[in-house]
């Protein structure tokens, strides 16, 4: 890293990585001096605004100052400055704003390869909202001058993958594998596609190729666990591998709360409530919460892990902590409702559901608790279904009323 400390582009990416990893103050310190470099000024200002807004106490004066400077500098920005601004917005999933910046970048310089590729990636990530977009043209334009361009080939592969054209995706990734024989990302993406179509043997071969030249590759280790859980049902071995994965993550990503949350979510949701695996996934969630103690999602995930292991009181405590950090968190609020249902607190749960009914967003745990109640109280469910008019509007809170009335008789 010391080799690149004088490179403002490297420092920009490093600062952005710190912010996205939740190391906000470190990120601010890295990004603040970059305002003097025209190439990355816009991107740094956007990242600084984003970082300050993530702080518990927002420095409104700093945000207003950065915002004013951003508006002024944007008027005279060149294509590279617009590109780095766009790529930051892309990283934080503000796709409409990212598109606005990259369109200006390409308008200034239609031969800007990085801009064309980023435009393609923005459209790929917008396919669900705009299925008629054709991102391939941007990647193909770049590939006409360099048919081995890794970002363009990755973009093509991802486009085919999202369109469920897995054969084309595999062909494109195979070309990448040939061109970059000991570079893990093409192999990782190829294994993902193979797992998506349940081509277990080919996926196993690809994963073993990764391990042959990068033995502790995090994604390859995850794929091995996925195979044990989804294909073989070897939960005991998978639980042991999960603990090994936890150890590796602690070495290479010790401050990356997102990685720990993602793994906790992935393996706890597919393990059929296996106790050994849930013990391991709870470690991941707890680690994430210790890294990002002000992250409501991390706290809510610890609550979810407790709930899946039947620890209702502990789950409620973590869900309540999550709502203190973010009082609008639907995940945390619906988690509290799930705890109340499982604990038989139907009146309290009904009040919470009436409060949330406008959102129509309920967690998986609330829905499963609902079906558990149907099994436990079939007569109440019959009363609920045979109610009139509005009472039949599949209102979970009304069902809880039926349960309460029937249970009290």
For every residue of 31-74, which 3-state class applies, written as one string?
A: HHHHHHCHHHHHHHHHHHHHHHHHCCCCCHHHHHHHHHHHHHHH
CB 98 within 8 A of CB 90: yes
Angle value at C-alpha 80, between 48 and 62, nearest 5 degrees: 15
CB 67 within 8 A of CB 49: yes
Q: Is residue 33 part of a domain?
A: no
Q: Is residue 389 part of a domain?
A: yes
Residues 6+ apart with CB under 8 A from 293: none
User: Which element (helix H / strand E) includes 384?
Assistant: helix 378-385
pLDDT along the chain (409 residues), means of 10: 76 95 92 96 97 91 96 95 98 96 97 96 88 86 93 95 94 92 94 93 95 94 95 96 97 92 95 95 97 92 95 95 90 88 83 66 57 54 46 48 46
What is the per-residue pLDDT for 22?
83
Tokens 């200006």 belong to 104
Residues 6+ apart with CB under 8 A from 180: 150, 186
CB 114 within 8 A of CB 83: yes
What is the per-residue pLDDT for 308?
93
What is the per-residue pLDDT for 282?
98
What is the per-residue pLDDT for 388?
45
Structure tokens at 126: 């917008």
What is the per-residue pLDDT for 389?
42
Structure tokens at 186: 């093409």
Total residue length of the chain: 409
Structure tokens at 405: 């009335």
Tell me the helices (H) and strands (E) count for the chain, helix number first: 23, 0
Q: The whole model's pTM is what?
A: 0.79
Q: How far apart are CA 350 and CA 400, in angstroms?
A: 6
DSSP track, 275-313: HHHHHHHHHHHHHHHHH-TT-HHHHHHHHHHHHHTT-HH
Q: How far apart are CA 106 and CA 98, in angstroms?
A: 12
What is the per-residue pLDDT for 247?
97
Q: Is residue 385 part of a domain?
A: yes
Q: How far apart are CA 245 and CA 365, in angstroms?
A: 27
Q: Is residue 408 part of a domain?
A: yes
Q: Which domain holds residue 396?
A: 321-409
Q: Is residue 29 part of a domain?
A: no
Q: How far apart are CA 162 and CA 169, in angstroms?
A: 9
Q: Is residue 336 part of a domain?
A: yes
Q: How far apart are CA 303 and CA 297, in angstroms?
A: 10
What is the per-residue pLDDT for 393?
38
What is the per-residue pLDDT for 277?
97
Angle value at C-alpha 85, between 254 and 97, nearest 5 degrees: 105
Q: How far apart are CA 377 and CA 330, in angstroms?
A: 27
What is the per-residue pLDDT for 127?
86
Residues 6+ apart with CB under 8 A from 375: none
Q: Is residue 293 part of a domain?
A: no
Q: How far apart are CA 332 and CA 174, in angstroms?
A: 42
Q: How far apart are CA 105 and CA 116, in angstroms?
A: 9
What is the per-residue pLDDT for 353?
74
**Cα separation values, 183 from 35, 177, 186, 213, Å:** 34, 8, 7, 9
Q: Is residue 271 part of a domain?
A: no
Alpha helices in 126-256 (DSSP H): 136-143, 150-162, 166-179, 184-196, 200-213, 218-226, 235-252
User: How many structural domains comprise the chain?
Assistant: 1
């Amino acid at each position: 890293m010391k080799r690149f400390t004088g490179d403002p582009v490297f420092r920009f990416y490093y600062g952005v990585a710190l912010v996205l990893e939740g190391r906000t103050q470190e990120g601010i310190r890295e990004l603040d001096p970059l305002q003097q470099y025209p190439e990355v000024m816009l991107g740094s200002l956007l990242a600084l605004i984003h970082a300050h807004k993530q702080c518990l106490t927002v420095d409104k004066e700093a945000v207003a100052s950065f915002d004013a400077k951003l508006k002024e500098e944007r008027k005279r920005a060149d294509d590279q400055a617009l590109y780095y601004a766009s790529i930051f917005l892309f990283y934080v999933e503000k796709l409409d704003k990212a598109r606005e910046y990259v369109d200006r970048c390409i308008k200034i310089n239609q031969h800007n390869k990085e801009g064309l590729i980023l435009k393609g990636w923005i459209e790929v990530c917008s396919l669900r909202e705009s299925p008629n977009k054709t991102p391939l043209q941007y990647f193909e334009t770049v590939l006409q001058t360099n048919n081995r361009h890794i970002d363009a080939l990755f973009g093509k592969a991802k486009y085919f993958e999202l369109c469920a054209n897995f054969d084309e995706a595999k062909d494109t990734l195979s070309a990448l594998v040939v061109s970059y024989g000991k570079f893990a990302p093409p192999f990782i993406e190829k294994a993902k596609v193979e797992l998506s179509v349940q081509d277990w043997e080919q996926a196993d071969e690809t994963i073993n190729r990764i391990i042959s030249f990068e033995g502790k590759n995090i994604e390859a280790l995850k794929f091995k666990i996925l195979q044990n859980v989804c294909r073989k049902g070897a939960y005991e071995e998978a639980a042991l591998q999960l603990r090994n994965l936890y150890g590796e993550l602690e070495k290479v990503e010790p401050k990356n709360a997102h990685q720990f949350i993602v793994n906790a979510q992935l393996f706890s949701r597919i393990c059929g409530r296996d106790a050994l695996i849930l013990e391991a996934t709870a470690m991941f969630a707890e680690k994430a919460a210790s890294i990002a103690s002000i992250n409501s999602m991390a706290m809510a995930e610890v609550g979810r892990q407790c709930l899946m292991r039947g620890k209702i009181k502990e789950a409620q405590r973590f869900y309540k902590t999550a709502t203190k950090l973010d009082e609008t968190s639907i995940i945390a609020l619906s988690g509290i409702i799930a705890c109340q249902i499982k604990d038989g607190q139907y009146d309290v749960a009904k009040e919470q559901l009436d409060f949330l009914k406008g959102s129509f967003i309920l967690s998986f745990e609330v829905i499963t608790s609902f079906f558990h109640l149907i099994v436990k109280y079939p007569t109440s469910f019959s009363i609920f279904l045979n109610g009139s008019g509005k009472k039949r509007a599949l209102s979970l809170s009304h069902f809880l009323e039926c349960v309460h009335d029937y249970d009290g008789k």
